[in-house]
């Protein structure tokens, strides 16, 4: 964590120093780890994210134009009507535009942003940002949006405005999470169920940052859509790949070209792992939960091909040092690995630090994750 305390306190200080006046209000939203259910949200399958106790905070006050500053970056004045330019402030503009479409954007605003969610680490920093910005801007406009609308606004900002063809898992976690629980979310029905989660969980940041994530993610999504269109020749009413089911998998694999079949295999089996994880957690069976994490990682590595060498190494080392389970979390092509150490295993896992240093050539950031709550107004004083 950087100097100056946690993100909300730093956002408030940054506001005062950048804009030479106090902020009027403060909002924050969390990052997340996804326990299991990767690349399922945009394929109509269930996901099981956990919001983490690392947040992005936005301090705000009304202004005539839209002016933004973020920790470690320059101050910018953005024109919400101008074309987006591949700049970090695009996410802010995207959120403003999505609010404006609902008559819920202020005329202008000064914002200061601070975050404890590392960017590009697979921890949904962009959803934490867009949800927190949307919450703050709507409040400035005198509107209190419900969590569902915040999800829609944040998703439109990223999907429609910035152009990352993401699903709605990250925004849903950032808006709806409840402390102490994972959030089982089923995108086709919109159903959300809290799953109590109190096992220790660690995050190991590989330090590898996905560049051009939109490129990778959009490509995988297009591949899944191609597979769906091909499978609809056989099953015309198949709504999404997540609805295929294990019974039809073998036939589906035969119908698809060899390069495409593994993507569908991942979606079908990962869907099964989400349900199995929910049952394992319900029984308190951390051994079974851990095995599902390892299986999920192998599926990302071999079938969905969204892992990276450093994440594969971290998972392998965690397994060798006695973790119950580990897998790459989030979109992939870099990012963070989550590790389930299991009771009493923390001692043995302490050998993991030196092993990671030797393998990666540097000490990765490791921290314990505690399931946190979603977006909220922070006290300004
Ligand atoms: C990114 C996207 C999510 C989801 C994950 C992969 O985080 O924003 O919608 O698809 O990747 O599970």
Q: Locate the ligand 1 atom nearest the alpha carbon of residue 158 and give its number.
A: 8
Give φ, ψ of 17 to 5 degrees: -80, -35
Residue numbers annotated as active site: 170
Query: Is residue 77 within 8 Å of 65, Cβ to Cβ?
Result: yes
| Section 197-203 average pLDDT | 94
pTM of the predicted structure, to 2 decimals: 0.96
Tell whether ligand 1 has an atom less than 6 A from the beta carbon of residue 15. Answer: no
Instruction: Using the predicted structure, report yes or no on whether residue 162 has a pLDDT greater than 60.
Output: yes
Query: Would you say the CB of residue 224 lies under 6 angstroms from ligand 1?
Result: no
CA–centroid distance, residue 332 to ligand 1 (Å): 9
Distance, in Å, from the CA atom of 300 to the CA atom of 307, rounded to the nearest integer, reads 6
Residue bearing the CA closest to ligand 1, atom 9: 167
Q: Is 270 in the pocket of ligand 1 (CB under 6 A)?
A: no
CA of 273 to the centre of ligand 1 (A): 17
Helix axes 90-100, 147-156, angle to 10 degrees: 130
185 CB less than 6 Å from ligand 1? no
Residue 213, pLDDT score: 67
Q: Give the residue whose CA is nearest to atom 10 of ligand 1.
A: 39
Is it the case that residue 1 has pLDDT exceeding 50? Answer: no
213 or 355, higher pLDDT: 355
Q: What is the pLDDT of residues 328-347, one digit of tens each?
A: 999 999 999 999 997 665 55
Distance of alpha carbon 312 from alpha carbon 335, whole angstroms: 11
Task: Say how many Å lie between the CA of residue 209 and the centre of ligand 1.
Answer: 15
Tell how far CA 362 is from the center of its chain.
Answer: 25
Q: CA dist 146 to 72, 105, 143, 340, Å?
A: 31, 15, 10, 33
Q: Is 330 in the pocket of ligand 1 (CB under 6 A)?
A: yes
Q: Give the model's pLDDT for residue 90.
A: 96
Listing DSSP states for 254-302 in one string gives HHS-TTTHHHHHHHHHHHHHHHHHHHHHHHT-HHHHHHHHHHHHHHIII
Exposed e or buried b per residue across 281-302, where buried means at least 16 C-beta atoms within 10 angstroms of its C-beta: beeeebebbbbbbbbbbebbbe
Residue nearest ligand 1's atom 2 by CA: 166
pLDDT, tens digit, 9 for 90 and up, residues 98-147: 999 999 999 999 999 999 999 999 999 999 999 999 999 999 999 999 99
Geometric angle at alpha carbon 48, from 177 and 114, rounded to 5°: 45
Q: What is the CA radius of gyration of the chain?
A: 21
Nearest CA owner, ligand 1 atom 8: 166
How many Å separate Cα 289 from the centre of its chain?
A: 20
Q: Are strands 76-78 and 325-329 parallel, antiparallel or unpaired?
A: unpaired
Q: What is the pLDDT of residue 342?
A: 73
Q: Is the CB of residue 39 below 6 angstroms from any atom belonging to ligand 1?
A: yes
Do the beta carbons of residue 122 and residue 329 sit within 8 Å?
Answer: yes
Range scoring the smallest mean pLDDT among 71-80, 98-107, 204-213, 351-360: 204-213
What ranges in the chain are assigned the alpha helix state H? 7-19, 90-100, 125-140, 147-156, 169-176, 213-232, 249-255, 261-283, 286-299, 309-320, 346-349, 352-360
SS3 27: strand
- The reported pLDDT for the residue numbered 212 is 58
Determine the pLDDT at residue 167.
Answer: 98
Give 17 Cα–ligand 1 centroid separation in angstroms: 35
DSSP letter (8 states) at residue 41: G
Q: How confident is the model at residue 85 (pLDDT cuts 50, 70, 90)?
A: confident
Q: 321-348 in b/e burial notation, b at 16+ Cβ within 10 A? A: bbbbbbbbbbbbbbbbbbbbbbeebeee
Strands (E), 35-180: 49-62, 66-70, 76-78, 109-115
Place of tokens 């939960």: 289
Q: Is 169 in the pocket of ligand 1 (CB under 6 A)?
A: yes
């Amino acid at each position: 964590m950087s100097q100056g305390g946690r993100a909300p306190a730093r956002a408030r200080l940054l506001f005062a120093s950048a804009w030479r006046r106090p902020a009027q209000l403060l909002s924050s939203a969390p990052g997340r780890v996804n326990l299991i259910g990767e690349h399922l949200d945009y394929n109509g399958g269930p996901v099981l994210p956990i919001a983490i106790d690392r947040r992005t905070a936005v301090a705000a006050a009304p202004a005539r134009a839209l002016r933004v500053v973020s920790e470690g970056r320059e101050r910018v004045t953005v024109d919400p009507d101008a074309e987006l330019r591949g700049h970090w402030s695009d996410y802010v503009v995207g959120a403003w535009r999505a609010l404006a479409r609902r008559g819920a954007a202020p005329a202008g605003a000064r914002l200061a942003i601070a975050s404890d969610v590392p960017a590009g680490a697979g921890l949904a920093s962009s959803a934490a940002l867009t949800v927190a910005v949307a919450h703050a801007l709507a409040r400035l406009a005198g509107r209190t949006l419900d969590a569902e609308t915040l999800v829609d606004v944040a998703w439109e900002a990223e999907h429609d405005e910035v152009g990352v063809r993401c699903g709605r898992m990250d925004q849903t976690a950032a808006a709806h999470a409840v402390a102490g629980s994972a959030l089982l979310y089923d995108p086709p029905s919109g159903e959300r169920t809290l799953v109590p989660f109190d096992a220790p969980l660690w995050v190991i940041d590989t330090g590898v940052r996905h560049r051009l994530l939109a490129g990778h993610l959009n490509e995988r999504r297009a591949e899944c859509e191609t597979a769906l269109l091909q499978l609809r020749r056989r099953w015309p009413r198949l709504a999404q790949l997540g609805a295929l089911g294990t019974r039809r998998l073998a036939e589906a694999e035969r119908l698809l070209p060899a390069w495409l079949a593994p993507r569908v295999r991942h979606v079908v089996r990962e869907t099964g792992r989400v349900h199995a994880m929910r049952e394992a957690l319900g029984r308190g069976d951390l051994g079974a939960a851990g095995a599902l994490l390892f299986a999920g990682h192998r599926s990302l590595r071999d079938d969905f091909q969204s892992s990276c060498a450093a994440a594969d190494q971290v998972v392998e080392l965690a397994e060798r040092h006695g973790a119950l389970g580990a897998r790459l979390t989030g979109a992939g092509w870099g990012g963070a690995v989550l590790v389930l150490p299991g009771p009493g295993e923390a001692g043995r896992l302490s050998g993991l630090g030196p092993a990671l240093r030797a393998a990666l050539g540097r000490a990765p950031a490791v921290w314990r994750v505690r399931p946190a709550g979603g977006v909220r107004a922070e006290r300004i004083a």
